[in-house]
Amino acid sequence: MALATVNPTTGATETIIEPHSPEEVEQRIAQSAAAARTLRTTTFAQRGAWMSAAADILDDQAEGLGELITVEMGKPIAQSVAEVRKSARSMRFYAENAETFLADQPLDDPSKVGASRAWTRYEPLGPVLAIMPWNYPLWQVIRFAAPALMAGNTGLLKHASNVPQAAMFLDSLFERAGFPKGSFRTLLIGSAEVAAVIEDRRVKAVTLTGSEPAGRSVAATAGKSIKKAVLELGGSDPFIVLPSADLTTAAETAVRARISNNGQSCIAGKRFIVHADVYDAFVAEFTGRMSRLVVGNPLLPETEVGPLATRAGRDELADLVEDARERGANVLAGGFIPEDSGYFYAPTVIENIPDDARLVMEEAFGPVASVYRAKDNADALRIANQTTFGLSSSVWTNDPDEEAWFIANLDAGAVFVNGMTVSYPELPFGGIKNSGVGRELAAEGIREFCNLKTVWKA
């Protein structure tokens, strides 16, 4: 089955790319395995030079790559260009810091273990398969590829089928920058073929960013093969607003948190939990701002919200809203599919969502904001922690005691105080509960796909 770029703004097919044959897949895995044997013998300085050169390519082509991303998955053009530049910054971060992150760690007093010296060292595993989503076609891949290659691993990419042009750009990026042939290879395959790649003895580990069902499937396959798996899955992040917060700033940030990437971000604020004392004021400000957003062609600079990436995703979002509405929820803004040719959905605010609505527990992947009235802080925490997800969270307060209490008690991989969740190469990223296992980015991310070897010397 061919892979296609279907422009979500128009619904038109832009490009069709044929998938790789079984023989081509075998060749690419073999290239990756051969490159792994070479790459592990290179120095951090050499890999850093190649990685910096790859970052230069991204910066030089940022405008064109931004347009490619927007055409393939629909995010506003300014956000697409920013994604390219963020990817380049992350590559430079690992080029500069990988050697420090993976330095040998000596035991302070080796005599305690009867040795003259004892230490641990990080060593690359070899080829790592990355199964990546369409919502950040470059950034999601680079935040795996940059640390993996700097550690001396090689990468195999199974990208989402609706961004094949981004996938093929990445296929050649690192080789163009100087990395040995095969250091990074794209596999144009379907989901049904992924298990065989994970099970291949030459593939040493797997990482996936995607849905919870996909994560369960990949983890089960990796588990049967006794291979490391890092999973970054869904999120339904709480955005908690308390009486001491700056409500205007909180509302302004809440809109950006909800509609960034057209609302298609795992770490977007999705559930807005507001203390009863400030609920009416915050929701009025928030709803007004959501209602005034400019929806349209994402290639135009004035557009704030573009289409969803796929028709299926748009229809699933509409079904979630309709289910809540039919069960008695109140739609304050939006809640409809505009009369456009593309996969648009109106920015939506919905309140009074009954407990049996799907929207309470399921992730809304699009510009739909659920708002909840919390009677007190304990109630806000209960609502925040009630889902099966635990990716990130945001809490808005100027009370130090409240801040400390929420930081300690929120079930999440991260807590952002008076700000929206953003991923940074300097900070570890990942979740708990059904949001996944393992960490990306920072020192923790580069160490995930390394063998931590203990050395003892008499």
How many Cα atoms within 13 Å fall on the side-chain side of residue 353?
A: 28
DSSP state of 134: S
Beta-bridge mates of residue 333:
349
Residue that has been written with the tokens 């089960």 in this structure: 220
> Exactly one of 83, 175, 232, 440 is catalytic; which is it?
232
Indicate if 232 belongs to the active site.
yes
> Exactly one of 72, 83, 266, 402 is catalytic; which is it?
266
Cβ(178)–Cβ(165) below 8 Å: no
DSSP state of 128: E
How many Cα atoms within 13 Å fall on the side-chain side of residue 166?
A: 33
Beta-bridge mates of residue 172:
none
Closest CA to 75 of 210, 258, 255, 262: 262
Tell how far CA 23 is from the center of its chain.
31
- The rounded distance, in Å, linking the Cα atoms of 278 and 161 is 44
Cβ(92)–Cβ(55) below 8 Å: yes
b or e along 11-27 (b: 16 or more beta carbons within 10 Å of the residue's beta carbon)?
eeeebeeebbeeeebee
Active centre residues (catalytic): 232, 266
